[in-house]
Amino acid sequence: MNATTVSGRKQPLIYRLPVISHFRASVGLQRGMLVTGLVLAVVFLLTAVFAPWIAPYGFAQLSDAAGPFPTQQPPSPAHIWGTTVGGYDVFSRVIWGAQTAAVVIIVAVAMSIFLGVALGLVSGYFGGWLDRTLVVIADAIYAFPSLLLAIVMSIVISHGQSSFWGGIVACSISISVVFVPQYFRVIRAETIRLKAEPYVESAKVVGASSIRIMGRHIFRNATRTLPLIFTLNASEAILTLAGLGFLGFGIEPTSAAEWGFDLNKAIADASSGIWWTGVYPGTAIVLTVLGLTLVGESINDLNDPRLRGRKKAVAGKGGPDSTDGAQAALEAESRVL
């Protein structure tokens, strides 16, 4: 979405925020996908934030005033999603698992963005032997299977098991190592393109330092695609975290609830007809990943000026907005060229 309207007036800041601007530019099925993804993502975030008030029991609670919880109990008024073989309440574990996943996503992706953007800017701007070295290292890391690399890092950092914050840090670092090359390659490519732009050359002529040029002129333009990469990496982070927990390299069950670990414990239940211990955490993973992926893919489509312009032109055909849609498309194309 353009920062200014066709008449030249500057739009309010809220209309220029990444997700809101993409929502205003979407139409039809594309808007439906974006709204669906946003609803699922917001439900996930709200569940994570209000987990202490939503969950009736603690993630490791095995009893209450009435006594110990029964094991493998079907859904009932006392335990609406049943209990596990260990006596944990399934509903509470799923709710608390959303909080664990959200914390890991925030920490892991924040670390990845910081390192990836910093290395990409330095590598793309200065080039030379530093650029070649960083590219070789990034390609070598990127060549490894992401889950295998995360398992190795988890073993090295926490020896496979740890407390809540120790597990969060270990999982976040493991996932960050996988994601840093992605941010590095994107920011490096954008930096190489932008440092040849006339306004960057002008800044060099007037004597601006390299740090000022990278911070003031290149950083803002090179990081426009970060919201897209963030949403896609957030969904991948959930899958990686679930994979680590499923294989037994995640957070200990007494330290935090984790969907992948609960799925691992539900394998033996599936052959006995005990479906509730695996269906609910598995559904939570699927819906959360689906929501974040829909948001990311919708933003990716709307970042294509030709696709966005075509959709807006079709939506405004025969009405007064058709001219505005065509004009917006032409302005977007001119920015890309």
- DSSP result, 64-123: ETTEEPPTTPPS-SSSTT-B-TTS-BHHHHHHHHHHHHHHHHHHHHHHHHHHHHHHHHHH
With respect to residue 20, please indicate whether it lies within any of the assigned structural domains: no
As a whole number of angstroms, the distance between CA 33 and CA 1 comes to: 18
| pLDDT value at residue 299 | 75
- Radius of gyration, alpha carbons of the chain: 24
In a domain, 28, yes or no: no
User: Tell me, what's the pLDDT at 325?
Assistant: 42
Per the domain annotation, does 294 fall within a domain?
Answer: yes
* Cα dihedral value 60, 62, 93, 83, nearest 10: 150
C-alpha angle 244/236/103, rounded to 5°? 70
For residues 199 and 134, is the Cβ–Cβ distance under 8 A?
no
Quote the number of domains for the chain: 1
Q: Note whether residue 333 is domain-resident.
A: no
Q: What's the pLDDT at 314?
A: 47
Give how far Cα 191 sits from Cα of 12, 121, 122, 148, 229, Å: 28, 6, 9, 31, 17
Identify the domain containing residue 255 by its residue range: 42-303
CATH number of the CATH domain containing 47: 1.10.3720.10
In a domain, 229, yes or no: yes
Structural domain includes residue 319: no
Domain annotation covers residue 214: yes
Query: Two tokens at 276?
Result: 């509730």
| Distance of alpha carbon 26 from the chain centroid | 21
pLDDT in the model for residue 95: 94
Q: Residue 289: what pLDDT?
A: 92
> How far is the C-alpha of 76 from the C-alpha of 152, rounded, in Å?
41
Residue from 239, 336, 283, 291 nearest 19 by CA? 291
Secondary structure (DSSP) of 261-280: HHHHHTHHHHTTT--HHHHH
Going from the first residue of the chain to its last (337 residues), give the mean pLDDT of each consecutive group of 10, the final group possibly shorter: 49 62 66 85 93 90 84 88 88 92 87 88 86 88 79 73 68 81 87 82 78 79 75 83 82 80 86 87 93 82 57 47 42 42
pLDDT of the residue at 265: 86
Q: Does some domain include residue 126? A: yes
What's this model's pTM, rounded to 2 decimal places? 0.77
